[in-house]
Structures are given as structure tokens and as C-alpha cells.
Amino acid sequence: MRIKTLQVLIGLFVVTTFFGVGCDDGKSENVCSERLRQIEKMEGQLFDASETADASLRSALMTAYAEFSNDCHASEQTPEFLFRRADLLRSAGQYQEAMTQLRDIHDHYKDFEKRPICAFLVGFIAEVELNDREQARKTYEQVIELHPKSSAAIWAQQSIGNLDLVP
């Protein structure tokens, strides 16, 4: 009897996992749509605000980007929202978190067109914000190796040249 029950449960798992049959009846699509509307509204408020926009709005937008990517990780908009989140983290002085976010985007979204830029920005933040020239150099060298035909590789090469000029 236990084996039969286990077989039924395994069968249900296989059906729901591989055939997309679930109990949410489009609930996750609705959640993603609502999160997207929320993000668009907050972005509008932020971009309409003055240069001294409310820090709580920026923080709420960072959270909204993270929640969207957690709930809607398969969406084509997810890497772009995470990229925007990394920019907000950097502007808030959360440099390590921004670098971690950029690395995650680079490593997990292979088709994202800004992948080389993500890699470059890790080095840029290390150089400019953290004054960690050694880490910046290593990162720039990786950008050139991983993305040799990109604009980011050109920027990385120029940045290495600047590192060599400044003692």
C-alpha cells in the first residue's frame, strides 16, 4: 500500500514538473504582471523626481526588482531588472552587494546582452569605489579573456592602461 501511494505521488510530481500542470491556474503570471506594474510605477516616480529622490523609494525599487526576479526568474526582463538593481546598490554605496549582483547576472544569464558590461562594472567598482587596483586589474583581464570582441573588452584594456599610468 505504501509503495502504491509513493508511486502515485512520484507520478504526480513528474506530471506537474515536466508538463507544467499545476494548481495555480496562471497565478504566477498574474503575480509577475502585478510586480511589473509596480516596478513601472516606481520607476516613473523615481525618474520624475529631482536628483535628491527619496532614498526609501530607491530602496523599495531595489526590493521590487529582487522580488520580481525571485517570482519571475524565467522572465526575459529579469536580468535587466537585476542590472538596474545593481546600479541602485552602487549608487547607495553598497558596492560589494552591487558587485555580487553583477557577477550573478553575468554567471546565470548567458544570453543577456549586457553580460560583458556586467563583468566590466565589477572591475570598475573595484577600481573607482573600493580603490582595489589588484582586483580591478584581474577583473579587467577576465573581461578581455571572456568577451574579447565586446566594447567592454576595449574599456577594460583602456582601464588597465590607466592603472599602469597611475602609481
Q: Are residues 105 and 156 in the same domain?
A: yes
Where residue 49 falls among pLDDT bands split at 50, 70, 90? low
> So what's the pLDDT on residue 164?
86
Q: Which of 69, 137, 76 is nearest to 104 (CA)?
A: 69
Q: How confident is the model at residue 2 (pLDDT cuts 50, 70, 90)?
A: very low
Q: Using 50, 70 and 90 to split pLDDT, how confident is the model at 15?
A: very low
Predicted TM-score (pTM) of the model is: 0.79
Burial class (CB in 10 A: 0-12, 13-18, 19+), 88: middle
Clarify whether residues 108 and 70 are in a common domain.
Answer: no
Residue 124 inside a domain? The answer is yes
Please tell me the distance from the alpha carbon of residue 162 to that of residue 12, in angstroms, as a whole number. Answer: 60
Whether 164 is covered by a domain: the verdict is yes
Collapse the DSSP code of 99 into the 3-class scheme (helix H, G, I; strand E, B; otherwise coil) and give the result: helix
Instruction: Give the whole-angstrom CA distance, residue 156 versus residue 120.
Output: 7
Whether 67 and 121 map to the same domain: the answer is no
Question: How far apart, in whole angstroms, are the C-alpha atoms of residue 116 and residue 157?
Answer: 13
38 and 99 belong to one structural domain:
no
Quote the pLDDT of residue 97. Answer: 98
45 lies in which domain range? 27-75
pLDDT tens, residue by residue, 76-123: 999 999 999 999 999 999 999 999 999 999 999 999 999 999 999 999
Asked if residue 58 belongs to a domain, the reply is yes
C-alpha cell at 154: 576595449
The verdict on 64 and 106 lying in the same domain is: no
Q: How many domains does the chain have?
A: 2
Q: How many CB atoms lie within 10 A of CB 21?
A: 9
Instruction: Say if residues 97 and 121 touch (Cβ distance below 8 Å).
Output: no
Phi–psi pair at 148, nearest 5 degrees = -60, -25
Residues 100, 166, single domain; the answer is yes
Say if CB 60 and CB 77 are below 8 A apart.
Answer: no
pLDDT value at 23 more than 50? no
